[in-house]
Amino acid sequence: MLDRLNHVAIAVPDLQAGARVYRDTLGAKVSEPQPEPDHGVTVVFVELSNTKIELLEPLGENSPIQKFLDKNPSGGIHHICYEVVDIYAARNRLVSEGSRVLGDGEPKIGAHGKPVLFLHPKDFCGTLVELEQA
Ligand code: CO
């Protein structure tokens, strides 16, 4: 079911500081900050040759990453995103086997303009998993 690793998302309290670490300390190619008000985050993309890292900073009042940062004030890995060929087929199989899909269970258009779903961390080794239809 799973295909490529699309990205690893790291929540950070300070996006500029996070971007500096990846650009200056680690020598990675780092994008300009990109506000995504529909998703409640501002994102910096770290481009690697085989995948990307997304640094996420809360944007607005009800950011979905605020609670995570309250618990992890210096930041941390928030979720990992795997690509799937058919997100409905993946969802139906997972739900039929007892996995929990967050929200109303329907794919939403994610930050890359493609359908995504999030899976409950307690069902997946303590990791919030995003599935994206590639
Ligand atoms: Co993501």
Chain segment 40-97, per-residue pLDDT in tens? 999 999 999 999 999 999 999 899 999 999 999 999 999 999 999 999 999 999 999 9
2-133, what's its fold? 2,3-Dihydroxybiphenyl 1,2-Dioxygenase; domain 1 (3.10.180)
pLDDT given for residue 112 in this prediction: 84
- Kindly list the protein residues that place their beta carbon closer than 5 angstroms to ligand 1, a single-atom ion: 9, 81, 130
CA of 97 to the centre of ligand 1 (A): 24
d(CA 9, ligand 1 centre) in Å: 6
* Marked catalytic residue, from 47, 54, 97, 130: 130
Q: How far is the CA of 36 from the centre of ligand 1 (A)?
A: 12
Beta strands 52-58 and 5-11 are parallel
Mean of pLDDT values over 89-117: 94
- Specify the pLDDT at position 117: 96
Split at pLDDT 50, 70, 90, the class of 111 is confident
Closest CA to 31 of 96, 39, 22, 40: 22
Are the CB atoms for 58 and 69 separated by under 8 Å? yes
User: Is 54 among the catalytic positions?
Assistant: no
Cα dihedral sign, 120-98-110-133: positive
- CA 7 to centroid of ligand 1, rounded, Å: 7
pTM score: 0.94
